[in-house]
Copies of this chain bind each other. A is one copy, B any other.
Amino acid sequence: MGGDHGPSTVIPGAELALRRHPDLRFVLFGDEAVARSLLDQAPRLKQQSVFHHCELSVRMDDKPSQALRQGRYRSSMWRTLEAVKSGEADVAVSAGNTGALMAMAKFCLRTMANIERPAIAAIWPTLRGESIVLDVGATIGADAQQLIDFSVMGAAMARALFHIERPTVGLLNIGVEEVKGQDEIREAGRLLRVAETQGLDYHGFVEGDDLGKGTVDVVVTEGFTGNVALKTAEGTARQIASYLRAAMERTLLAKLGYLLAKSAFQRLRDKMDPSKVNGGVFLGLNGIVIKSHGGTDAEGIAAAIDLAYAMAKNGLRDKIERDLNGFHLRISDDVAADESEKSA
């Protein structure tokens, strides 16, 4: 029921994804009266899905606390998450209200053992392919331990998604030296360096312009900065697209040139199309939740489902759990060794 267009994009999107991955199965939650006729137009999906009617859906402008109060147990959003909890579904996908989805996911699925806070990971298109950036807005601020947790979870996701044995991880920082306040980032960097881990290759600090370059596979930052960076990049891309459009419409020659180079522009548009890379992944919960952009089309919904499919197929949740446990053990060993050295 979520997103700006509700079932009218979600259902065709699921049908699209099913064509690409015929072994997908869907558990759908929503208002049957609205969805029924749309499902009739999606014969493949209709056959490969179970539909659960829900009397209530969370609105895009509900406050998280309000959504939780009113929609717990009975809203389509809650019941989608519950399907992951019960094991009926492997992944939850929603285009609904982000704040409400995160609040409900925390309440319903709970954070993993040793994880204080979940993170939202975004897939970032780069000159070298794709990177994972987290946290892009689950929570503001992060201490060294949380930045390390984000690093381990992001690396597990990169392994599941990009099939890289030891993904490179960078901590987002600013280049000005001897500026105060980066203590938690420095401390996280120090710990990542000492705790040699097979699961990730710690690269060091990266800066804002390394995001687009694709300097590392995983960029780690706290949620405020990550969210601003993501929206700034999206805004800049739209700004340049608008300049380009204006420039190409200005003269007859430019218009003609545009026509001739149309396929090249189409390629560029595909590269910049936000619906091609769609889906924020909630990490650190006992279950994988994918948040699609609310304003996306059926193609975007399908992209979010593709992502969910890849995550489930590659056992992301188990990978994260195993890596986190291994890393926490290693860190406590190191700290213990460090302290016994000091007391000796």
Contacts and interface: CB of A to CB of B under 8 A. Distances in A.
Contacts of A225: 224-225, 228
Interface of A: 63-65, 98-99, 102-103, 126-127, 137-141, 172, 174-182, 207-213, 221, 223-225, 227-240, 242-244, 247-248, 250-251, 253-254, 256-265, 267-268, 271-272
Given A243-B268, A247-B268, A257-B259, 12 more contacts: A63-B178, A99-B176, A103-B178, A141-B181, A208-B230, A208-B234, A209-B234, A212-B239, A236-B237, A247-B261, A247-B271, A257-B258
Nearest to A272: B240
Contacts of A63: 177-178
Copy number of this protein in the oligomer? 2
A83 to B, nearest CB: 24
A326 to B, nearest CB: 30
Classify the interface of chain A: helix, strand, loop or mixed.
Answer: helix
A244 B127 CA distance: 12
A102 B176 CA distance: 10
Contacts of A257: 256-262, 264
Given A126-B239, A228-B228, A264 B272 contact: no
